[in-house]
Amino acid sequence: MISAEIHNDTSALAEFEPASLDHDVLEVAMGPHHPSTHGVFRMDLVLDGETVVKLKPVFGYLHRNHEKIAEQNGYLAAIPYTDRLDYICSMTNNWAYVLTVEKLAGITVPERAEYIRVIVGELTRLFNHVCLAGFLLQDMGALGTPLMYAFREREKILDLFEALSGSRMMCNYLRFGGCRCDFPEGWIARAGEVVSNFSAFLDEFEALLTDNEILQARAQGVGVLPAALAINAGVTGPSLRASGVDYDLRKVDKYGIYARFEFRVPLGKNGDVFDRYMVRILEARESLKILEAALAAIPEGPILDPKTKLRGLRPKAGEAYGRIEAPKGELGFYLISDGGPKPYRFRVRPPSLINLTILEDLCLGHTVADVVVILGSIDIVLGEVDR
């Protein structure tokens, strides 16, 4: 339907009328089955030669009715569906949702569970950022090598997640009032080993990439996101911080126990693709610091508040908005309860979707090859965009 609209609407093309007869603008539908669109995502491009003069993102191919399904099911049954929003970072999705339910129903979380959340959340951030760098390099034409190195390290963390929660990606691990099960034997030691080796891997990854002249030529000065536009469009996460805006919910909201950890928020200066890459690598290094502190300080104790009612939870009528700093930006859930066993309204504020709205502004005037790189640097997951 949308494609028919753009084809019939010739007025949109009128303003790009070619200066002479020997060249014409060209409409290209890039996607939905294109390896560089990170899922089923289409961009309707209008090209003048190789330069983008208009870009229209088209999404919805992966719409699964997440919000309505959650309104049909109870509060507990929505947790496995949140895994499937941003299917790379299921732990942080769980976290944002359970945080909102806890706010809504006034549930407290035991100390140990708070530490577990920080540990699994930061591990998620770690591999999300590394994989993003790998995907970005793949979009630039480095087929395989950086991505495979990133996936090799990610595999070690997914292995930890599987030992803990039973599933590599669809963890379904956190619960309102705590989490589902305690660490298996020797898990903390293994996690400590992965974390202590990760710093060496980041050094190696940076030696492979950061100084690479091709990466610099492709990334520096490309897709510049001015801070004002980023703030106006509601962009959050590493993309916002790469534009130099100091806004990290872990510092602003201090949700959970983040106030106890020492870490810095890396900021970019130019807001280009290279800054967005660099901010993520630096953030991964800061995550390592948090992880080391959390793994050392984790106390013994219960992992689930014994007063929590997992089945048949009926929060009293009211509303709550909970948000966390997910690896991709501010992930928020908005819940309204009418006192029944199901949420009256369930709404997700997905960082991927809102960060995607600036795509056209970043791409205008660049070539098609740069569009691919810019899209890669925004870091979207279509499961979260379309929900």
Question: Where do contacts with other proteins occur on this chain (CB under 8 A)?
Answer: 73-74, 76-81, 83, 145, 149, 152, 155-156, 162-167, 170, 172, 180-181, 184, 197, 204, 207-216, 310-311
Q: How far is CA 115 from CA 19, 80, 179, 184, 324, in A?
A: 63, 21, 11, 15, 15
Query: Using an 8 Å Cβ cutoff, are 38 and 62 in contact?
Result: no
Identity of the residue, 87 or 321, whose beta carbon is nearer to other proteins in the bound complex: 87
The minimum distance between CB 129 and other proteins, in angstroms, equals 19
Identity of the residue, 72 or 232, whose beta carbon is nearer to other proteins in the bound complex: 72
The minimum distance between CB 204 and other proteins, in angstroms, equals 6
Identity of the residue, 189 or 207, whose beta carbon is nearer to other proteins in the bound complex: 207
The minimum distance between CB 74 and other proteins, in angstroms, equals 7
Identity (one letter) of the amino acid at 307? Answer: K
Identity of the residue, 79 or 101, whose beta carbon is nearer to other proteins in the bound complex: 79
- Quick count: other Cβ atoms within 10 Å of Cβ 79? 24
The minimum distance between CB 98 and other proteins, in angstroms, equals 14
The minimum distance between CB 174 and other proteins, in angstroms, equals 13
The minimum distance between CB 368 and other proteins, in angstroms, equals 24
Q: Which two tokens stand for residue 306?
A: 């014994």
Identity of the residue, 61 or 151, whose beta carbon is nearer to other proteins in the bound complex: 151
Which residues contact residue 185 at a Cβ distance below 8 angstroms, ignoring those fewer than 6 apart? none
**Pairing assessment for the beta strands 329-337 and 318-326 based on DSSP bridges:** antiparallel
Report residue 369: phi and psi, to 5°.
Answer: -60, -30
The minimum distance between CB 10 and other proteins, in angstroms, equals 46
Distance, CA of 172 to CA of 218 (rounded, Å): 38
Identity of the residue, 12 or 188, whose beta carbon is nearer to other proteins in the bound complex: 188
Identity of the residue, 24 or 204, whose beta carbon is nearer to other proteins in the bound complex: 204
